[in-house]
């Protein structure tokens, strides 16, 4: 990854008014190479409470580097000995600089910025950061200057959130483990009827059969772990209105071939540490994946015609070759399809349109390689059939010309 100094936009905010009622600042960072970094100047004065909401372009993280600065007091003496986040009376409940590295404004997961050594450096989890400074009435004078820089990862697409922490015979996924997982929901309802996978800030990949014969307005639900986001507060769960539905022109409902589609949201999907896109398998255009292990995830039934889980489930499945899959189905499985078979494990009703994921052992990068298409019951003697994403990369790129992807 590489570090970029951000735009010619210098923010020096001084919050030094006692009892200030409104001290809230919002900064959207736009960057270009060689430009000067924005700065936030935190003046340690009595009775202040200031907040800073900072956002950067998707695909970047924000690095905040803070250090003490000498400042003259009222008697023209240089102040060099202040140690944030504590005041002279050591009331750390009232005086502190705290930062949410995930950008949460409620600061539920925030940590203190300590500066006993005079400087500190923190990095956001995604492209947003929220910082707050409070002081007591007994605060010392001094200045704490924070410089903002952007960290640009090598790639925009995301892997699993391993540390966050049915499908038949699967297990519960960790909350937000699959940040690229989404669900299709009809407007006015809360029930996910098909899965989808976020592939860019506007597009999600799903099955064509999920997008035909729809009655009503379609929405895309992202950032959700529980099937019904209203059962438990989740600040990351968002419904996005779908602007465009794209079904592959050669989709054959009878043969269930070319079973792939896209949805484009009306507004940009806001990416954060819990919501992001997955890599498309450009690297694996020629791979059959036979014998490899994959992960599928979804809110589908736990058994054929059985109940659905309350939370997102995941399962590890093995890819079988197309020839044996064709034999078991007694029908042709095309090169644009792929099959999985693992005894007693499977995707099931309600998982349609959802992803089949592959983790590259070389770099641990996460790819969507399949879209759940069809099966015979759930976890029976017949393999499950998926649309092979690598066979449709050119079509996806053509249909989504207003966005971009990382090529790895």
Instruction: Give me the active site residues, please.
Output: 209, 259, 352
Please enumerate in sequence order all residues whose Cβ is within 8 A of that of 186, keeping only pairs 6 or more positions apart, or say none.
193, 214, 215, 216, 217, 218, 219
Which residue(s) pair with 406 in the sheet?
A: none
Helix (H) or strand (E) holding 395: helix 393-399
Kindly report the number of other CB atoms within 10 A of residue 283's CB atom: 16
Q: Please give the sequence-ordered ranges of beta strands (E in DSSP) within 101-237, or none if there are none.
A: 111-112, 119-123, 128-134, 143-152, 171-172, 181-186, 192-198, 203-206, 218-222
> Residue 350: helix, strand or coil by DSSP?
coil
Alpha carbons 230 and 192: distance in angstroms, whole number: 13
CA distance 318 to 340: 5
DSSP string, 150-172: EEE-S-SSB---TT----BT-EE
The first and second tokens of residue 129, run together, are 């950061």
Q: Which residues lie closer than 8 Å to 9 by C-beta, 6 or more apart?
A: 27, 29, 30, 36, 38
Q: What are the counts of helices (DSSP H) followed by strands (DSSP E) for the chain?
A: 2, 25
Q: Three-class SS of residue 284?
A: helix
| Alpha carbons 181 and 199: distance in angstroms, whole number | 10
């Amino acid at each position: 990854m590489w570090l970029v100094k951000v735009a010619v936009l210098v923010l020096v905010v001084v919050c030094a008014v006692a009892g200030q009622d409104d001290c809230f600042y919002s900064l959207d960072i736009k960057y270009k190479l060689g430009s000067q970094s924005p700065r936030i100047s935190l003046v340690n004065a009595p009775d202040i409470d200031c907040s800073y909401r900072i956002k950067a372009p998707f695909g970047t993280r924000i690095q905040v580097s803070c250090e003490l600065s000498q400042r003259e007091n009222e008697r023209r003496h240089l102040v060099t000995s202040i140690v944030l986040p504590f005041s002279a009376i050591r009331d750390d409940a009232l005086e502190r600089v705290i930062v949410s590295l995930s950008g949460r404004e409620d600061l539920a997961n925030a940590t203190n910025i300590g500066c006993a050594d005079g400087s500190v450096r923190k990095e956001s989890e995604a492209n947003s950061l929220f910082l707050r400074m409070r002081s007591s009435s007994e605060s010392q004078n001094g200045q704490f200057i924070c410089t903002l820089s952007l960290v640009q990862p090598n790639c925009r697409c995301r892997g699993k959130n391993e540390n966050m922490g049915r499908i038949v015979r699967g297990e519960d996924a960790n909350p937000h483990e699959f940040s690229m997982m989404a669900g299709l929901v009809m407007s006015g309802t809360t029930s996910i009827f098909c899965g989808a996978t976020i592939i860019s800030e506007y597009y999600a990949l799903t099955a064509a059969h999920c997008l035909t014969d729809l009655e009503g307005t379609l929405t895309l639900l992202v950032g959700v772990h529980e099937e019904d986001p209203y059962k438990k507060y989740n600040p990351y769960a968002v419904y996005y209105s779908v602007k465009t539905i794209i079904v592959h022109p050669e989709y054959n409902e009878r043969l269930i071939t070319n079973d792939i589609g896209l949805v484009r949201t009306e507004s940009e999907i806001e990416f954060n540490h819990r919501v992001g896109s997955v890599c498309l398998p450009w690297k694996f255009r020629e791979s059959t994946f036979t014998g490899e292990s994959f992960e599928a995830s979804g809110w589908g039934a736990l058994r054929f015609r059985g109940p659905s889980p309350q939370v997102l489930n995941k399962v590890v499945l093995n890819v079988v070759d197309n020839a044996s899959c064709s034999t078991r189905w007694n029908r042709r499985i095309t090169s644009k399809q792929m099959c999985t078979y693992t005894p007693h494990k499977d995707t099931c009703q309600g998982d349609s349109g959802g992803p089949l994921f592959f983790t590259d052992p070389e770099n641990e990068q996460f790819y969507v390689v399949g879209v759940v298409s069809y099966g015979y019951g759930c976890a029976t003697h017949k393999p499950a059939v998926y649309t092979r994403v690598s066979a449709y990369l050119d079509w996806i790129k053509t249909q989504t010309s207003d966005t971009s992807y990382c090529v790895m």
